[in-house]
Structure 1
Amino acid sequence: MLRLFSAVFALLASVVAPAVAQEAPRSSECLAMSNAPPRATPVSLRQAAATTNEVAITYAGHSTYYIDTPGGLRIATDFSGTYTVGRLPDIVTMNRAHSTHYTLFPDPRIPHVLHGWGDDGAPEKIAQRIGDVYIRNVTTDIRRYFGEDSGGEMIRDGNSIFIFEVAGLCIGHLGHLHVKLDDSQFAAIGRLDIVMVPIDGTYTMSLNGISDITRRLRASVVLPMHRFMTPLDEFMRRIGQQFTIDVRSERTLTISRETLPGTPTVIILDGV
């Protein structure tokens, strides 16, 4: 009888296991790329590059960029509802620093609202596929802000670096970054093709600090944000001559994996 039960259990396991595997969340291809030996490229990324799917990135203002995916999704970063361009986004990400980076009352027609901070002091953990984009986060600490007795106190895991993986591109948004990143955080971020960095030099972090992070990430495209205080030439001087600069008169960058610049490039889109 015991032998019969074991055989039946093994048969059931062989039937159920594939279904469970299919339901498991897809892992990060950007992390796979960063941890793989040189020249190793996941098949799905090679296929995406071959089809030259393009992503449109529009600077709405402050720290809000809109990302339009080939599948028709629209993402808005550090969304407060103040900086809008075109139609309502399908996905919004937020950070807790202050009210220009989040709203507790987003338009109810937005189907996916992703907070970069957790509840009850727990870090927010995001790793989910929505349509043709895979979204994950890496948390960092932030300073307490207006209306609170900060005393230099930090809110643990109050900011999220969001990474959007779409059409073979790895797109990172550093959020309202206040602290230097450690090795474990760089490892968790993985490879980035495009990175959005705050360059105000005061409200987030020093220009030296953000410049060091930008150099280490070494993304093909750097998109400055929170750029209302710092002269761009000062940021460029600090990140070094290995980056080129491309100032554009339009607000939207249309790009694919195949059209990434060969030299790390800071692209300045129109807007403030």
Structure 2
Amino acid sequence: MRAGFLACAWATICLLTVGFGIARAEDQTRPPVSQCQAIAEALPKATFARFTPSAPLRRAAADQEVVRITYIGHSTYFIETPGGVTIATDYSGVYKPPVTPMVVTMNHAHSTHYTLTPDPGIKYVLHGWSDTPGEKAKINVKVGDTYIRNVTTDIRGGFSAPEMNGNSIFIFEVAGLCIGHLGHLHYELTNSHYAEIGRLDVVMVPVDGGLTMGSDSMSRVIKHLRSSLILPMHQRAPLANFLSMFGKEVDITYAPSDTIEVSMRTLPKKPLIYIPRGMQ
């Protein structure tokens, strides 16, 4: 019975994916539709099937399925999609990718997470905050093969008072993957946040141990998200404490480089914390 249900869930995922592609081909005026969020809402208790070979993170057979992710520094990751879209997360101009990205995302919790004078060659500058205090930033944009959206969260403002919607979790949907960057997350997520986020196959998580959240709180968020691939960022020193929050249910790999290539075919079967060289 369970196997049949999972097969049905996977079929639903395939149909939604194919349907999304057809809709975009037929009517470019329609707003983007989130595969990750729609599936999570439709099948809240499903265990999602995956194509996973015995060697996790092995290069995918088809290059068009591969997303390349490189740790640049602090909370900046550089994402290269199969369609040639380049994205830098939490872009401040201090930690620069090898080429000028097409898209940058920013959060204003600290100056190391944004800049008001970005490189003029950047086509899309996406602020994770609204210019009107308290309002939600609303990101909903399709760039090439990538759909980018956000989920806002509160941050600690002056004198530790909450600042409404001051942080954005950015979600990049590409090549069937749901990739999330938690930004400068100050509070544990609510059920409403998790519903807005949906499924995250890959998540970039700050592990500073207190500038955002303590390791215990951050680990609870990660365990709730149940992502296949976990990429730490922000501060190196507290990393060991963050790792100590996980048991045998999670694998840990210290990477030989700052770059990883991932696809739906190569997601690990067991959750994996993959530590880039720059975070070691």
TM over 0.5: yes
Give, in whole Å, the separation in 2 of the partners of 1:233 and 1:120: 39
Give, in whole Å, the separation in 2 of the partners of 1:79 and 1:170: 20
Partner deviation per Cα, 1:78-114 (whole Å, 9 max, x = no partner) = 0001112311110000001111000000011100000
Partner deviation per Cα, 1:115-157 (whole Å, 9 max, x = no partner) = 000011221011111111000000001112xxxxx22212110
Give, in whole Å, the separation in 2 of the partners of 1:65 and 1:151: 30
Further displaced range: 200-209 or 50-59: 50-59
Within the candidate set 78, 97, 110, 1:98 is matched to 110
Superposition pairs for residues 1-272 of structure 1, below 5 Å? Answer: 22-37=28-43, 38=46, 53-121=65-133, 122-144=135-157, 150-230=158-238, 232-272=239-279
Cα RMSD after superposing both structures? 2.0
The residue identity in structure 2 corresponding to 1:28 is S
Contact 2:88 2:97 in 1 (8 A): no
Give how far 1:61 is off. 0.7
Give how far 1:237 is off. 1.8
TM-score (norm 2): 0.82
SS in 2 for 1:195: strand
SS in 2 for 1:160: strand
SS in 2 for 1:151: helix
Partner deviation per Cα, 1:159-211 (whole Å, 9 max, x = no partner) = 00000000110000000000111000001000000000001111111111100
Structure 1: any 5+ residue segments left out of the alignment?
1-19, 42-48, 145-149
SS in 1 for 2:131: coil
The residue identity in structure 2 corresponding to 1:200 is D
Structure 2: any 5+ residue segments left out of the alignment?
1-25, 50-59
The residue identity in structure 2 corresponding to 1:254 is E
Give how far 1:22 is off. 4.8
The corresponding residue for 1:16 is none
Partner deviation per Cα, 1:222-244 (whole Å, 9 max, x = no partner) = 000013330x3321221332110
Give, in whole Å, the separation in 1 of the partners of 2:189 and 2:247: 19
Contact 2:209 2:242 in 1 (8 A): no
Contact 1:68 1:74 in 2 (8 A): yes
Give how far 1:32 is off. 2.0
Contact 1:214 1:239 in 2 (8 A): no
Give how far 1:50 is off. 9.3
How many residues are treated as equivalent by the alignment?
A: 241
Give, in whole Å, the separation in 1 of the partners of 2:159 and 2:271: 39
Further displaced range: 52-61 or 234-243: 234-243
Give, in whole Å, the separation in 2 of the partners of 1:24 and 1:39: 30
